[in-house]
Amino acid sequence: MTPEEENAESAKPPLYAPPKARRGGLSLRKRGERYAMLKDWYGKEYANTEISAHTAKAVSVAELIENQCAEAMGGQTAVWLEISTHWLSIAGAQFARLATPAGLDGGTLLLEVRHPLIIRELAGSTDLILDRVRSCVKGGRVCTEIKLVPSGRGRR
């Protein structure tokens, strides 16, 4: 390398720059120390890529959102979101085509059906669906009964 190339190389900002001293924080300081150590071991070229092996593991965004939402909203809202999101796997394809979750009122899960005659047909299956909700959904014990309502009458 010529001296001009070395100056140009050193002028480029690295992919990972050690944190500034005023930012503080134990984790930032430790990352800076690890970066300096890796730079000594591997050289400037490889230290940027090796730092990824020495940092904290990735955390699922879904887990972060779920934890934040659970804190922000009440238990029933979290249960309702989980029921409505996973309804097809909870109820099964046939039952899910005939009834859709419309709301969670107190401990009652409201299921909307398209026609009032379907209520009579599905009334015998509500205990089975209630058991599935309780076993498949975290916090499903909040749901104490299922009520079948004609379409348009459930709370959303």
Contact criterion met (CB below 8 Å) for 103 and 154: yes
CA distance 30 to 19: 10
What tens digit of pLDDT does each residue of 36-87 get? 888 888 888 777 777 777 666 777 888 878 777 666 666 677 788 888 888 9
Q: What are the residue ranges spanned by the domains of the chain?
A: 3-54, 73-150
Query: How many CB atoms lie under 10 A from the CB of residue 110?
Result: 19
The tokens 């909870």 sit on which residue? 90
- Domain 73-150: give its CATH superfamily: DnaA, N-terminal domain (3.30.300.180)
pTM (two decimals): 0.51
Strands across the sheet containing 99-105:
99-105, 108-113, 145-150
Of residues 70, 71, 76, the one with CA closest to residue 142: 76
The two tokens of residue 34 are 């690890």
Q: How confident is the model at residue 19 (pLDDT cuts 50, 70, 90)?
A: very low
